[in-house]
Amino acid sequence: MSDVTLQSALLEEHPASGRRRVRVRFVVASVIVALYVLVAIFGPFFTHFSMNRTDIVDRLMPPGTAGHLLGTDELGRDMVGEMIQGARISLTIGIASIAISLTAGTIVGLAAGYFGSLTDGLLMRLADVQLAFPSIVLAIFISAALGSSVLNVVIALSLASWVIFARIGRAESLSTKNRAYVEASRLLGAGTSRIIGRSILPTALRPLTIYATVQFGFVIVAEASLSFLGVGLPASDASWGTTISDGENYLSQAWWVSALPGIALALLVVCMSIIGDDLNERRS
């Protein structure tokens, strides 16, 4: 329950801000997210960055040094390249985990709501058991058990976030399954999968997408947290979390190593939450 409550609190309606203002905010946030995606896809072709190419002479150079726009880290690696690599990893993990948990959660939720009785009881008790674990603790736990790798982090984060989608899917399914048009489709002889896929899913998609946007923010912060704690990605991957963690030891001499990837992460999460928030506002 708790996570869902928090989610609804996060999506709580707020101010009587004007329509135009919402649009501007929304557009700016979407453009920024689009830029992240473009940089993550095409950036590495321009920076030729490699985690293995170190340069001890140029270590811990401040931002603005010639050739290193955002400075270098403790092993002399260019921060721009490292952060672009981080964007790649964050977005990949975020998109993969959300895709998996959204698909699985939606299927489980819609089925539970549609079939009701025993199926519903079983699936939702499973969800309840999972909600006994705070999602970040569950992600840490699973990730630690499986070992550090991109795939394992994706598994851990998907397992930690499918329940929210299942709950939304179930609620939507419950409220639409007895509507007239669903009934009509059933009378016309549509099979179960067709009814769920064509009549119930479309209504559920909207709230599901909104929560997916919010959950995306949670997932990439969780990945960074896991990597920061050393239970996410191996240190050889330039995740924002591992970079922040590396920079922790040089905080007083070279603040940028930790600060910059954090800003990149924060900006992305803020934009995602603005998008989710505005989508939600438009819906209500």
Partner 1 sequence: MTSYILRRLVFSVFVILAAVVVIFIVMRAVPGNPAEVLLGPNATKAQIAALTQRLGLNQPEIVQFGKFFWGVLQLNFGSSIQFSTPALPLATSRVGASAELAGVSMAGVVVVAFIVGPLLARIPGRRIDRGFTSALMFIQALPPFWVGLLLLLVLVDHLGVVPPGGKSGFSSFIMPAIALGFPFACVLARLVRSGLIEVMDSAYIQTARAKGMPEWRVFWKHSIRNMLLPVLTVGGVQLGLLFAGAAVIETVFNWPGIGQLLINAINERDYSVVEACVFIFACAFVALNFITDVAYAYIDPRIRVSGR
The end-to-end CA distance of the chain, in Å, is: 22
Choose which of 32, 107, 146, 190 interacts with partner 1 (CB under 8 A). Answer: 146
Which listed residue (134, 197, 202, 234) binds partner 1 by CB under 8 A?
134
Kindly tell me which of 147 and 191 has the beta carbon lying closer to partner 1: 147
Q: What angle do CA 136, 33, 168 make, to 5 degrees?
A: 50
Q: Which amino acid is at 51?
A: M
Q: With binding defined as CB under 8 A, does residue 229 bind partner 1? A: yes
State yes or no: residue 221 binds partner 1 (CB under 8 A).
yes
Q: Which is nearer to partner 1, 16 or 188 (CB)?
A: 16
Q: How many CB atoms lie within 10 A of CB 80?
A: 20
Q: Which is nearer to partner 1, 94 or 217 (CB)?
A: 217
Q: Tell me the β-bridge partners of 183.
A: none
Phi-psi region of 237 (alpha: psi -120 to 50; beta: other; left: phi over 0): beta
Question: Distance between CA 80 and CA 82 in Å, rounded?
Answer: 5
Nearer to partner 1, 195 or 222 (CB): 222
Residue 184 or 270: the one with the smaller Cβ distance to partner 1 is: 270
Q: For residues 203 and 206, give the distance between their C-alpha atoms in angstroms, rounded to a whole number.
A: 7
Among residues 92, 133, 171, 206, the one that binds partner 1 under rule CB under 8 A: 133
Q: Identify which of residues 173 and 273 has a Cβ nearer to partner 1 in the complex.
A: 273
Residue nearer to partner 1 on the CB measure, 73 or 199 = 73
Longest dimension (CA), the chain: 76
Q: Which of residues 6-45 bind partner 1 (CB under 8 A)?
A: 6, 9-10, 12-17, 21, 25
User: Length of the chain in residues, anyone?
Assistant: 284
C-beta separation of 103 from 160 below 8 A: no
CA-closest candidate to residue 212, choices 91, 86, 92, 97: 97
Q: Where do runs of H (alpha helix) occur along the chain?
A: 2-10, 19-47, 79-115, 117-130, 135-146, 150-176, 180-187, 192-194, 201-229, 240-247, 255-283
Return d(Cα 79, Cα 73) in angstroms, integer.
Answer: 6
Q: Does 234 bind partner 1 (CB under 8 A)?
A: no
Instruction: Determine which residue in the list 122, 129, 177, 208 makes contact with partner 1, applying CB under 8 A.
Output: 129
Which of 228, 232, 237, 280 lies at the binding interface for partner 1 (CB under 8 A)?
228
Q: Which is nearer to partner 1, 51 or 131 (CB)?
A: 131
Binding mask 242-271 for partner 1 (x = CB under 8 A): --x--xx--xx--x--xx--x--xx--xx-
Q: How far is the CB of 207 from partner 1 (least distance, A)?
A: 20
Give, as one character, the DSSP assignment of residue 69. T
User: Cα torsion for 111, 112, 118, 121, to the nearest 10°?
Assistant: 160
**Site membership for partner 1, residue 145 (CB under 8 A):** yes
Give the footprint of partner 1 on this chain (CB under 8 A). 1-2, 5-6, 9-10, 12-17, 21, 25, 125, 128-137, 140-142, 144-147, 217, 221, 224-225, 228-231, 244, 247-248, 251-252, 255, 258-259, 262, 265-266, 269-270, 272-274, 277
